[in-house]
Amino acid sequence: METNKLVSIQRFETWLTPSLFYVALAILIAGNIFVWFFLKTGTSAPDSSNVISVLSNERDKLKALLEKACGSAGLISVDRNSSLMSPDDVRRNQAPSVKGNLVDLLQSATVMVSHSKGIGSGFFIDSNTIVTNRHVVEGINGETVQISSRVIGSAISAKVISASQDSQVGSADFALLRIDRAPAGINALSISGRPIPLQKVFAVGFPGSAIQTDSNSDFPSPIFTSGDVSAIQPQPSGVELVIHTADISPGSSGGALFDRCGSVVGVNTFVRGVESRSESRRLFALSADSLRKFLDASGQKYSTAANCTSINAN
């Protein structure tokens, strides 16, 4: 019996030559590839449909989250070909009619406020109403002020229709300007809530030291700077001060401090100088919550925006 087994093994080894072994292996691999390709072809259509459906659902969820976080009326759309909504579009809840981006929104909403005693900044909150600081228009004794920007194209007269009681540091320092005719091409900014420390913010306005060098046009462009919120400081007067690092200078007063969604989180108001070599300048804005209180007390309508929390830099 053992002899017969040994003979069978020898015959098998003789029959299974190396060349025959590799041919059999190639046939096995080819068969596996054919079976895999057949199964993939038979199930690819439904699988692709399911994948597309899942991706579409995830896209819609992400779009909804971004729209909720970026509550600015001017930046509702997150499509690749997004556009800004004009104030009239927002009121009518219609589709956007003005093409643009965040810079366009701020440039079309920000104005230089000027009169015989100096200049400052301001921004539209509706098609006829501009927010600025009280100290920007203080002491003009009934004189009308002028607002101007490249978007407006010419200086327009404006009247002071409301102002806070005083402009002391640490108190409400707000004023409202009204123009008779809404200029074409402007946009209004929505007002957000209180920012948080380390939130990324931007300042826009017309600091005198910067706009003096702008000789390309009769109407200078606003200056943009970026920084972070350092702290929120409640004051005995009831207002909140936002300390931030987005550089501002004289002339920036009354301009908007805004978030990545283009919503107002504060109104730039004053700078505290260096008191010692170990300190740097501190930049202050009145918080959006304080601005809302002033607008409510003045009976002024405005649009609000949700906090831009989903895309904080930190």
Per-residue pLDDT band at 117 (split at 50, 70, 90): confident
33 within domain boundaries:
yes
Number of structural domains the chain divides into: 2
99 within domain boundaries:
yes
Same domain, 95 and 52: no
Is pLDDT of 67 > 90?
A: no
Same domain, 185 and 281: yes
Higher local confidence (pLDDT), 1 or 20: 20
pLDDT of 150: 87
Same domain, 93 and 225: yes
Same domain, 223 and 134: yes
Higher local confidence (pLDDT), 30 or 303: 303
72 within domain boundaries:
no
Same domain, 134 and 279: yes
Same domain, 151 and 227: yes
Same domain, 17 and 137: no
CATH code for the domain of 107 = 2.40.10.120
76 within domain boundaries:
no
Same domain, 279 and 230: yes
Same domain, 180 and 276: yes
Per-residue pLDDT band at 69 (split at 50, 70, 90): low
Same domain, 110 and 16: no
Same domain, 52 and 91: no
Same domain, 287 and 150: yes
> Domain limits at 164?
87-297
Q: Decide which of 14, 39, 56 is a domain's last residue.
A: 56
Each residue's pLDDT tens digit, 136-170:
999 888 788 999 998 888 889 999 999 999 999 88
- DSSP string of the chain? -HHHHHHHHHHHHHHS-HHHHHHHHHHHHHHHHHHHHHHHHHHHHHHHHHHHHHHHHHHHHHHHHHHHH---GGG---STT--BPPHHHHHHT----B---HHHHHHHHEEEEEETTEEEEEEESSSSEEEE-GGGSTT-TTPPEEEE-TTT-S-EEEEEEEE-S---TTS---EEEE-SSPPTT--PPPB-----TT-EEEEEE--HHHHTT--SSSSPPPEEEEEEEEEEEE-TTS-EEEEE-S---TT-TTPEEE-TTS-EEEEEEEEE---STT---EEEEEEHHHHHHHHHHTT----B-----TT---
314 within domain boundaries:
no
164 within domain boundaries:
yes
49 within domain boundaries:
yes
pLDDT of 276: 56
288 within domain boundaries:
yes
